[in-house]
Structure 1
Amino acid sequence: MDYINSLENNTIKKIKKLKIKKYREEEQLFIAEGRKFLDFEFVPEMLIFHEDYAITDEIQKKIDRFQCRKIKVSDKVFSQLTSQENSQGVIVIYPMKKGDLNILNDNIVVLDKIGDPGNLGTIIRVADAGGFKDILLTKGSVDCWNEKVVRSSMGSILNMNIIYLEEEKLISFLKEKGYKMEVTALDKTSIEYTEMSLSEKNAIIFGSEGNGVSQRFLEVSDEKLIIPIYGIAESLNVAMACGIILYKTREILGAKN
């Protein structure tokens, strides 16, 4: 295992650049941080450990599975790479997974200009937990390879098929492939989410935190859904709303089968 103590090292400079979307896209690599990533089978490009991180026999077995570069770095170098105040001392560099429209399942999640990385990461996690493997986002949404998104997804991002499309291309694709569009919206014509009527193919569509779905999605929706509020809260966090509706979707689909 290599040891690096210099901030001027080319490898360290390359890793630091991955904190910026432009360079992530150029290199097709992203940063994941935390011990849990050593448990996944997804093959990394590089493993980085803080110099004080103890490589036990158990950890050694985990990292021996991967034929990739493995390095230890000094405290001053690691402090420039980590994005966490209380880091566990493990950083993994992964190749980006390319999304594929040709392998979509019959029930998918669509996100319209989601801006908060924590929300996107949580949505990825809850979608994965609910058995949804495909997430389509309109361009203008936060980058799913952002470190905060990756961290909030708790590794679920490695299981997902994630694709970005321009709004009109996304809508045209959903129509062409016969997806029923279930749009979450605060609209006078909205029905309670418990009353949604699902088809053989369904796209469950959620809007941005501040603005909701676009007018265009409202126009093309087959059904508009709302989660009733019984207390004094004005609204629900989009990730929370996503979890409620996706699990109800799973329940309805299960009852149909």
Structure 2
Amino acid sequence: MNLRKNSYMERIASKQNKKVKELKKLATAKGRKKSDQYLIESWHLVQEAINNLPKKDVISIFVTDDQYLEHGSDLKDLNVISISDEIASEIASTSTTQGIFALCKINNQSLLDVKLDGAWLLLDDIQDPGNIGTMVRTADAAGFAGVIFGDGTASQYNSKVQRSMQGSQFHIKLVKAPLSSAVEKLKLQKTPIYGTELNPDAVNYKEITPLSDFALIMGNEGNGMNKSLLKETTNNLYIPIKGKAESLNVAIAAAVIMFQIIK
């Protein structure tokens, strides 16, 4: 079915269409920065964006005929553009696509825009999208106020990171900032800052009295935390390993600690 026959909806069927070319550029950090926009896909993420973002930040919905028939009633008052299955495959970041996308405005928050009240997770040079997504989702589930993406950490607008966050990016605050600046702000307001490093002075995470306001820093998958940040922490925490495994995945370690130390 061609929905254009039944509505005034714009339809795109050519790969040479200017909008298709612009959407494909959003797969790169350079393209996102230039346009100040990013693309998400799948009905779950599109629905989360519609329900949680300001209406002005959901610029357009791109949808195949089948997906419009299924979800059209939830897309009222939005700028909906019909696309062919071929175009959906062209702009998708996955090998199999559901055929529904939302073009959204990038709305970066800075440290000046947010109060660092409550529990905050700080990501220090975390590069794996799956790890980032798992930690953001866990922070959301544990009741954290937000997550700060430090230098070297993959962008929250990267398509793989967006998918792995599974909608939690719309539930809590996400801030891009140098962790040194975040730590400075946290220390000024006397917020405890916990690092994650196994050293002679490290404290068993179970010995920490649960708190409502604190920051937890998780370091790079291979190299751990930045040494300059380690010097600024209130305590450095470790998880005792009883078996023969040498270490835990950073996202698993973060989950264990987050649920233990939040009040």
TM-score, normalised relative to structure 2: 0.87
SS of the equivalent of 2:220 reads: coil
Q: Are positions 1:45 and 2:73 aligned together?
A: no
5 Å matches for 1:134-173? 134-173=146-185
- Structure 2 gaps of 5+ residues are 1-8
Deviations 1:99-118 (A, max 9, x none): 25333323211111111111
Q: Which moved more, 1:43-52 or 1:181-190?
A: 43-52
Instruction: Determine if contact 2:27/2:93 at 8 Å carries over to the other structure.
Output: no
Q: Which moved more, 1:104-113 or 1:68-77?
A: 68-77
Using the TM superposition, give the Cα deviation of residue 45 of structure 1 relative to its aligned residue in structure 2, in angstroms: 1.3
5 Å matches for 1:1-257? 1-40=9-48, 41=51, 42=53, 43=55, 44-53=58-67, 55-56=69-70, 59-64=71-76, 67-101=77-111, 102-197=114-209, 201-250=213-262, 253=263
SS of the equivalent of 2:122 reads: strand
Deviations 1:194-222 (A, max 9, x none): 11245663111111111111111211111
* Equivalent-residue separation in structure 2 for 1:129 and 1:240 (angstroms): 14
Instruction: Determine if contact 1:180/1:199 at 8 Å carries over to the other structure.
Output: no
- Structure 1 gaps of 5+ residues are none
Instruction: Determine if contact 2:40/2:46 at 8 Å carries over to the other structure.
Output: no
Note closer, same or farther for the CA distance 1:54–1:70 as it changes in structure 2 (3 Å cut): closer
Q: Work out the number of aligned pairs and report it.
A: 247
Using the TM superposition, give the Cα deviation of residue 135 of structure 1 relative to its aligned residue in structure 2, in angstroms: 1.0
SS of the equivalent of 1:53 reads: helix
Instruction: Determine if contact 1:128/1:160 at 8 Å carries over to the other structure.
Output: yes
* Equivalent-residue separation in structure 2 for 1:104 and 1:172 (angstroms): 11
Using the TM superposition, give the Cα deviation of residue 49 of structure 1 relative to its aligned residue in structure 2, in angstroms: 1.5
Instruction: Determine if contact 2:121/2:147 at 8 Å carries over to the other structure.
Output: yes
Note closer, same or farther for the CA distance 1:97–1:125 as it changes in structure 2 (3 Å cut): farther
Instruction: Determine if contact 2:62/2:102 at 8 Å carries over to the other structure.
Output: yes
**Percent identity of the aligned residues?**
29
CA RMSD between the two structures: 1.8
Using the TM superposition, give the Cα deviation of residue 124 of structure 1 relative to its aligned residue in structure 2, in angstroms: 1.0
* Equivalent-residue separation in structure 1 for 2:118 and 2:67 (angstroms): 44
TM-score, normalised relative to structure 1: 0.89
* Equivalent-residue separation in structure 2 for 1:104 and 1:120 (angstroms): 20
SS of the equivalent of 1:142 reads: coil
Q: Which moved more, 1:81-90 or 1:202-211?
A: 81-90
Instruction: Determine if contact 2:15/2:87 at 8 Å carries over to the other structure.
Output: yes
Using the TM superposition, give the Cα deviation of residue 141 of structure 1 relative to its aligned residue in structure 2, in angstroms: 1.1
Instruction: Determine if contact 1:18/1:24 at 8 Å carries over to the other structure.
Output: yes
* Equivalent-residue separation in structure 1 for 2:190 and 2:235 (angstroms): 14
